[in-house]
Chain A
Amino acid sequence: MFQLHGWEAVLFYVLAIMALFMGVFVVTARLAVHSALFLISTLVNIALLFILLRAEFVAGVQILVYVGGVMVLFLFVIMLVQTRAEEEARVRLYTRQSTPAVLVAVLLALSFILAMQPAQPAFRLPETAAAQTAAAQTVDASESSTMQNTERVGEALYRQAALPFEIASLLLLVAMVGAVLLARGRKQEKLYE
């Protein structure tokens, strides 16, 4: 069974609550820049949760690609597109359907948590088996160390998932060309024609 113990459990709760609060701040922040900074915080928290789940490679990719790449792109676009109207509270922040959306979201969250409550004991370790399984888990963790896990993911990426990997590189190329084409201005358009 899969259950975190001791400090890992405390860390899980801290990271999860931080991630959720920062997610709420992403949605409710007045300025897009603040929203982006809160999103960076959420992404780092989720990367730490990945490390808690022993997926170190994915955590590294998350930090490098998301926080290092995508969020910098977001910040650049926010700086290019920034209008003073939002800062000075002259515009509405939310659309007209925001109240029903939030209501439905809260109801969905409550219903999901209530629906998962009966499933909880099935995933929990029986008290007697807890100690030996914990020992087995530590052995397992020492066996499948960082390097091995990363190695196995890399092997799967280049063997079983080789075709999707190449398609992903093609997708990135197409996206790059498409972004350049979409974002060019009038002057550049004339230059190329």
Chain B
Amino acid sequence: MVWTGLLVGAIFGIILQRGRICINSAFRDVLIFKDNYLMKFAALAIALQSITLLLFAQFGVIKLSAMPLNWIANIVGGYIFGIGMVLAGGCASGVTYRVGEGMTTAWLAALAFGLTAQATSGGVLSGWMKWLNKYNITVASNSSVYVSKTGPTLATIFNVNPWIITLIFVVLLLWYAFGTKTSQRETKINWIVAAVLIAILQPIAWWASAASGRNYGLGITGGWTNILSVYTGNKPLNWIGAEVLGIILGAMFIAIVGKEFKLRMPKKPSTYLQVLVGGVLMGFGAATAGGCNIGHFLTGVPTLAISSIVTSIFFLLGNWTMAWLLFGRER
């Protein structure tokens, strides 16, 4: 069933590349460039996914699972990840699809990201994780759409039907997406189409991933650590590892077709140093927080997971801190 990961990843990679989807830019643009184009994509994608995921769960195709809440891990990891993505020149997914486009800075950032995530989850820094995991909070589920023991969600906290919270959530996000002025931009697929495609892909990804034994939706971090352990430790490729490979191959394919593939190298060598530091911070942050901008922000928030909502807020704050320091004068 690992090959389904490759297929889902390839489709995801094509959407990311064509839609120019970068969560780092989405966060930063709102603050520095007063541009909400990608933030609107994120809001709409999250709104639509919260419906499609819940529909699939309601019909018993998938069981939603929220990551455990861990205040220290989510806040510290989220903030560090947020700082890292600005330095790395892209979030975990942005860097991953740019690997396929031939962006050499992304290669280094991705490698540093994967290695540090691996070191944090199972390597030299794993003592930190072992200590942190003592503070994981999980609760008994209040609805059949969730697995029996899950991280707390807005539905479990208020002890109401997930549909009620989801509908309120969706109305708020749709108001933001369609009720406010949108920055103009010319792209190959616009933000609305990209969000709809992701909302269709996400529950299918969850279902395919669960069939291989990993009960979660789209992600990046676990995929990179898996690919590295396949390479250095001869471990089997798992679903999420195949998905990340798929993203790279899908993005590479569509970039070549669109004549957008090129080996891109910056003139200032110090850029490599900057993305290296960014990759390290992202890897440490993502492993600490339990996920990156895809695992937590794009996939976790639609499940109403408190852990993902808290982490995403700190992704945003970390991003804004670093973006302000580097580019604040350009406002």
Instruction: Please indicate whether A and B come from the same complex rather than being unrelated chains.
Output: no
Query: What residues make up the interface of A, taking CB atoms closer than 8 Å to B?
Result: none
